[in-house]
Amino acid sequence: MLTKRIIPCLDVDHGRVVKGKKFKNIQDVADPVELGRSYSLNGADELVFYDITASYEQRDIFLNIVEKVAEAIRIPFTIGGGISTPDDFRKVLMAGADKVSVNSSAVKNPQLIRDAALRFGNQCVVLSIDAKRNDNASWDVYVKGGRENTGIDAIEWAKKGEALGAGEICINSIDTDGVKQGYDLELNQILSEELTIPIIASGGAGKKEDFASVLKVGASAALAASVFHYGEIPIPDLKRFLSHQKLPMRPVDL
């Protein structure tokens, strides 16, 4: 069985890590480079940095932060936000990132997934999906930082993303984001059964048991922000807990 991964998510807005609830009430947290360095030293398996307003404000990628992070940490990291062309992939990867995440731009131009996968490899392409439950017992895809409902079915979009060449799907539940009541287990289980590529669960972690629950229903990795940013769940403690739950984890080398 493949090792499960714990991934802190750092939402970056104009050079600072921020956090909110259901994409609202955004508050300042920390410097992204220093926080990333701390996570790297304390057992995180990977990191994800999202420039949460780049697409909405239609501005360039924060390459200066990417370069500084690459120098500061020793684990793989993903960059998302403001990525709209294969050349954006190239810039981010050349600056030191291991993977690139696309969301709004891939919905607008699905060919971007295929072009990037062919040019840089499937392993570099992460399709991030912001999903919200609708009244029809399914989930809609939202874009522009959760501001706009596309009406696209999230499960079908994930399947199309895999077919186009995405190497991973990061599924973020807007309904559970920042609420700390647990991940959307139904959504993650369906995706893990429908797809063959890894699923990264995002949105809702509040306690150690939440991580165990979503990893046991099929997610390959669990992503979280506030419980890590505010020191509520130390990553070494979490990974020891998950190991005791019979989940395969990479040892914490401190």
> Quick one: tokens of 190?
């369906």
Residue 95 C-alpha from the chain's centroid:
19
Q: Is 210 a catalytic residue?
A: no
Report the distance separating Cα 214 and Cα 221, nearest Å. Answer: 9
Residue of 11, 13, 45, 88 with catalytic role: 11
* Helix/strand/coil for 147: coil
Report the distance separating Cα 140 and Cα 132, nearest Å. Answer: 5
- Nearest residue to 56 via CA among 150, 182, 188, 145: 145
- The β-bridge partners of 4 are 249
Residue of 88, 130, 140, 177 with catalytic role: 130
Q: Tokens 């403690």 correspond to what residue?
A: 237
Q: Is 135 a catalytic residue?
A: no
Please state, in angstroms and as integers, the Cα–Cα distance from residue 143 to each residue in 140, 188, 234, following that order: 10, 19, 31
The catalytic residues are 11, 130
